[in-house]
Copies of this chain bind each other. A is one copy, B any other.
Amino acid sequence: MAGSGEQEALVGNKQVIFKDFVSGFPKESDMFVTTGSVKLKLPEGSRAVLVKNLYLSCDPYMRALMKPQDANYGSVFTSYTPGSPVSGFGVAKVLESGHPDIKEGDLVWGVTTWEEYSVIKAPETLIKIQHTDVPLSYYTGILGMPGMTAYAGFYEVCSPKKGEYVYVSSAAGAVGQLVGQLAKLTGCYVVGSAGSKEKVDLLKNKFGFDEAFNYKEEHDLNAALKRYFPEGIDIYFENVGGKMLDAVLLNMRIHGRIAVCGMISQYNIDKPEGVSNLMNIVYKRVRVEGFVVFDYLQQYSKFLDTLISYIKDGKITYVEDIAEGLESGPAALVGLFSGRNVGKQVVTVSLE
């Protein structure tokens, strides 16, 4: 491959390609890994940024992008293009920049593409990483989009008060583990649910939840919630939807709040399950509020300062599940929907 002139900069670029729109559960085979090529040089006058991807984030919203564009989520996402690489959040190192605020060598996080090298055409959406005394992968999770989701959802949407009863579903995940810890720091009583014994142990012994249970072992979710919340739930941080939401509605306290972050149990079924116990919203005067992290990005630097100091002071802990190499990306991504990940699911592309 050694050559001269323009060709010198052309290198192999391993990529994860999205095959075609998916219905039902996504499978590893809905993506494939291939090697394209990329010119490690921006065209003259380009305002884009050329990056080397270091860490990629597996996030549940990526499932929605595997469907044809839908007007209902059009305000938030744009679907993937079949035959093109998967995109998602990641941490990357800048190799060349056409943008005045970003320079070679900068570390950034933001939306990138599942490949070794990417040309990012909207570099203004990237956030420069200033604190490098924490693992860089944290910017895909606790210090990135999912962390900001937990923070905004908990403080801005849940209106928490000391002493309140808080329930978090999918509690061992990227968002849930932080929500539970923030709730504990606020002085709440916190119960989490997750899908395995290992995760339940993490919740109780590592993240400091007051109680935790494996929802897969509960035949009657209503009874399980009554057991953990004999006085009812003030705040439900909703990550899963469906039957869990229906059971929670039966257990809300007066003036309770439900922050609707996501409903992962519904993402792979064509017609979402119906939720029936909605009259409890009236009886219990419940506020159910959906939110999208992107509406809170102006709070990012405040969030970052808070979280970095919590992490350094040992007040907050964090568990990641790291898959090595782009080849492991498809399995890691689809694993979110079977609960394979223990903690935040990350894919490493390169260690520097």
**Residues of chain A whose beta carbon lies under 8 Å from any beta carbon of chain B:** 72-73, 75-76, 241, 245, 250, 254, 260-263, 266, 271-292, 295
Question: What is the minimal beta-carbon distance from A58 to any residue of chain B, in angstroms?
Answer: 19
A245 partner residues in chain B, CB cutoff 8 A: 278
B285 touches A295 (CB 8 A): yes
B241 touches A284 (CB 8 A): no
B72 touches A283 (CB 8 A): yes
From B72, B76, B287, contact of A288 by CB (8 A): B287
Q: Considering the chains assembled together, what is the distance between the CA atoms of A295 and B287 in angstroms?
A: 15
A288 touches B288 (CB 8 A): yes
From B275, B276, B287, B292, contact of A282 by CB (8 A): B292
Known A282-B291, A285-B290, A287-B290; further 13 A-B contacts with Cβ < 8 A: A72-B250, A72-B283, A75-B254, A260-B282, A272-B279, A274-B274, A274-B275, A274-B276, A275-B276, A275-B278, A281-B290, A285-B295, A288-B289
A281 partner residues in chain B, CB cutoff 8 A: 260, 288-290
A263 touches B278 (CB 8 A): yes
A72 touches B280 (CB 8 A): yes
A275 partner residues in chain B, CB cutoff 8 A: 274-276, 278
Stoichiometry, copies per complex: 2
A290 touches B295 (CB 8 A): no
A278 touches B76 (CB 8 A): no
22 contacts between A and B (CB under 8 A): A72-B283, A75-B254, A75-B284, A76-B283, A241-B278, A245-B278, A260-B281, A261-B282, A263-B282, A266-B278, A272-B279, A275-B276, A280-B290, A281-B288, A283-B292, A284-B290, A285-B289, A285-B290, A285-B291, A285-B292, A285-B295, A287-B288
Residue of B nearest to A249 (CB): B72
A279 touches B291 (CB 8 A): no
B276 touches A73 (CB 8 A): no
A254 partner residues in chain B, CB cutoff 8 A: 75
Assuming the contacts A273-B276, A288-B288, A289-B288, asked whether A73 and B283 have C-beta atoms less than 8 A apart, the reply is yes
Q: Considering the chains assembled together, what is the distance between the CA atoms of A57 and B250 in angstroms?
A: 30
Question: What is the minimal beta-carbon distance from A153 to any residue of chain B, in angstroms?
Answer: 10
A285 partner residues in chain B, CB cutoff 8 A: 289-292, 295
Question: What is the minimal beta-carbon distance from A190 to any residue of chain B, in angstroms?
Answer: 22
Q: Considering the chains assembled together, what is the distance between the CA atoms of A190 and B290 in angstroms?
A: 24
A271 partner residues in chain B, CB cutoff 8 A: 276
Q: Considering the chains assembled together, what is the distance between the CA atoms of A281 and B245 in angstroms?
A: 13
A291 partner residues in chain B, CB cutoff 8 A: 282, 285
From B272, B280, B295, contact of A277 by CB (8 A): B272
Residue of B nearest to A253 (CB): B75
Residue of B nearest to A245 (CB): B278
A283 partner residues in chain B, CB cutoff 8 A: 72-73, 75-76, 290, 292
Q: Considering the chains assembled together, what is the distance between the CA atoms of A40 and B330 in angstroms?
A: 82
Closest 8 CB pairs of A and B: A274-B274, A281-B290, A282-B290, A288-B288, A272-B276, A73-B283, A287-B289, A260-B281
A76 partner residues in chain B, CB cutoff 8 A: 283
A72 partner residues in chain B, CB cutoff 8 A: 250, 277, 279-280, 283-284
Residue of B nearest to A271 (CB): B276
